[in-house]
Chains A and B, each alone.
Chain A
């Protein structure tokens, strides 16, 4: 695995080219191009704000009060968790087809194959950075200035990235042999979304201990809860849950490399 990581590091120029390729292909032929990465989250947060505030009349969230006592509108609370979740789910769905979708390269040139799922995760990260910018502006406009705990964001993003990369390795390799994975993963991500406290808070499930335990087993829970704490609520990350997320991610990357390594020599023949 060390040599694989070394290979990946040596191919970082290629990695970046592939990320750029992903982003370019995604926005090819559109009028706004890369601006869509900014426009989409803006439109979504606007929509949520209108729907939750004026149509559903959702109450501001009060589970963890901000140091300045400012209330957090539900739409923004939701959008905050969703931003991080989108990074994870976008990376996974991007990575699922990453090997199959690059058959034109696989069959012609040798390069460290693990670059493909990694580049999918990194292009997910780039998209996430746009959303993060929108989120930050929204928070400053509607809630207040972020506190010093915001500095934890890179750590949390790294934890999610590691996790996403671990799953991406397994999924991208599995899709080569079984195209069903692509369909399966979109359903699974829905299920996963609802078992992650994005729409709800941990307090919401606290009265039901069995459910709380299950939600806490979900490796994305720690990341999402911590992300909201540091970006929105001005609190520290939930260190216990975040540590669990990190450990889970590292195990997943190891498993992913083993699986990927075993499969990769068959890629050019099958894709």
Chain B
């Protein structure tokens, strides 16, 4: 049993879920013996114990939307399962205040032989709904799932998308005080995803608590009021979603930088006389440092330098490449822009973009400071910085690498009679 006899050390009115030093291990049996013969013949059951959660502490306030991010295998799903009371922690405890509805691994526990309708009734009663409650909400569930014509078919014949739709529809309809969602929003078409987000937003507005695991940093940024970055079973950073995303990206980019330096992605070259040194390149959005940007939003790139001597005529050059294809997307120098540049002491050069035209993806940025007369580089960082761009849901979807503001028009040639 979870959370037995523990002294509550939190204000019960404000916290929906507490995880206190949660440790969870799985036993990785080399070959699990399921039968008597195997049990008897195996001298000793051989297994490796590996820890998935290593002392996770967290508090989810009532009414918050709590996002969990982390790489695959970092323990996100296991953490959700301990919250949903499906797994029992080896050490520590989980305390949950409120009626939970959970969507784990895209499902809610449908019996393959039963029809959609029968499964709706079964799942609702598992989640604590009476038959009458279910009847009252049945139409709503079917409407939301949008698979009315398939409700009399056994769910074993459902597609993954239909299954997930129905599961989500049930999970959000049973009036949970706490909704736990594991990556469910990654399936289904866009209109369904949009409805899911609307539903989650409605949940949030109603003051319910939502815990969700996602790989989409965009979801964390836009939906969540709090976030947690789980890495290797340990809670790395938790708090403001933007901070958590930044820390997470810092780590991911750190890896990328390492790869750059070891030449795994591309040779990260740095060369120059060193008379002027580029100390750092930062991205700014509305005056705040960021690691990410969104298509169509303003973005400023700031090059911070230290000049060991005064340079009266210098050039700053920047270039942007796609990280995946290394396509050269954009480049400009202060000379091309006819901006005179004088470097002295410590300073910064900013390049401001009114509306970022790049579409979602990973980009690499090169920055160089050169002498305008001799074109000798002082400090050249070839593809030394990375920039993560997210697609902007406000725009019509496009493919490619840059956003083009175009319009379609179709006309039919009139055939002379």
Contact = CB atoms under 8 A, between A and B. Distances in A.
Interface of A: 13-14, 16-18, 21, 24-25, 28, 104-111, 178-180, 265, 268-269
A110 B34 contact: no
Interface string B1-19: 1000000000000000000
B112 to A, nearest CB: 8
A111 B125 CA distance: 10
B122 A107 contact: no
Contacts of B1: 265
Contacts of B39: 178
Identify whether the interface residues of A are mostly helix, strand, loop, or mixed: helix
Contacts of A28: 113-114, 154
A21 B87 contact: no
A265 B88 CA distance: 6
B76 interface: no
Interface residues of B, number: 37
A265 B87 CA distance: 7
Given A104-B109, A178-B35, A178-B36, A24 B88 contact: no
Contact of A108 (B102, B112, B130, B131): B102
B402 to A, nearest CB: 43
Given A17-B126, A111-B126, A178-B36, 18 more contacts: A13-B129, A17-B121, A24-B118, A25-B111, A28-B114, A104-B110, A104-B111, A107-B109, A109-B84, A109-B108, A109-B127, A110-B84, A110-B85, A179-B35, A180-B36, A265-B1, A268-B87, A269-B87
B111 A108 contact: no
Interface string B22-39: 000011000000111001
Contacts, number: 75
B86 interface: yes
A179 B34 contact: yes
B234 to A, nearest CB: 21
21 contacts: A13-B128, A13-B130, A14-B125, A14-B128, A18-B122, A21-B111, A104-B109, A104-B111, A105-B126, A108-B86, A108-B109, A109-B86, A109-B102, A109-B109, A110-B86, A110-B100, A178-B34, A179-B34, A265-B88, A268-B86, A269-B26
B291 interface: no
A206 B258 CA distance: 87
B413 to A, nearest CB: 58
A71 B207 CA distance: 73
Nearest to B101: A109
Given A107-B104, A108-B105, A108-B108, A17 B113 contact: no
Residue among B36, B123, B126 with the most chain A CB within 10 A? B126
A96 B111 CA distance: 18
Nearest to B132: A13
B81 interface: yes
A107 B121 CA distance: 18
B141 to A, nearest CB: 16
Contacts of A21: 111, 114, 118, 122
B357 interface: no
A14 to B, nearest CB: 5
Given A180-B36, A268-B87, A105 B130 contact: no
B126 A14 contact: yes
Contacts of B121: 17
Given A108-B109, A178-B39, A180-B35, A17 B125 contact: yes
Contact of A13 (B87, B125, B154): B125
Nearest to A180: B36
B110 to A, nearest CB: 7
Interface of B: 1, 26-27, 34-36, 39, 81, 84-88, 100, 102, 104-105, 107-114, 118, 121-123, 125-131, 154
A14 B134 CA distance: 12
B337 to A, nearest CB: 58
Contacts of A106: 86
A241 to B, nearest CB: 34
Contacts of B35: 178-180
Nearest to B26: A269
A113 to B, nearest CB: 11
B81 A268 contact: yes
A262 to B, nearest CB: 12
Contacts of A111: 126
A25 B156 CA distance: 13
B114 A108 contact: no
B110 A25 contact: no
Given A13-B130, A17-B125, A178-B35, A107 B86 contact: yes
B326 to A, nearest CB: 44
Contacts of A109: 84, 86, 102, 108-109, 123, 126-127
A106 B102 CA distance: 12
B87 A108 contact: no
6 tightest CB-CB pairs across the interface, nearest first?
Answer: A110-B85, A108-B109, A17-B125, A265-B88, A105-B109, A180-B36
B113 A25 contact: yes
Contacts of A17: 121-122, 125-126, 131
A179 B112 CA distance: 22
A6 B123 CA distance: 21
Nearest to B37: A180
Given A108-B102, A109-B127, A268-B81, A24 B114 contact: yes
B296 to A, nearest CB: 40
Residue among A17, A18, A24, A109 with the most chain B CB within 10 A? A109
Contacts of B111: 21, 25, 104
A175 to B, nearest CB: 10
Contacts of A16: 125
A269 B89 CA distance: 12
B157 to A, nearest CB: 13
Contacts of A18: 122
A173 B127 CA distance: 23
A195 B1 CA distance: 40
Nearest to A177: B34
B335 to A, nearest CB: 62
Nearest to B125: A17
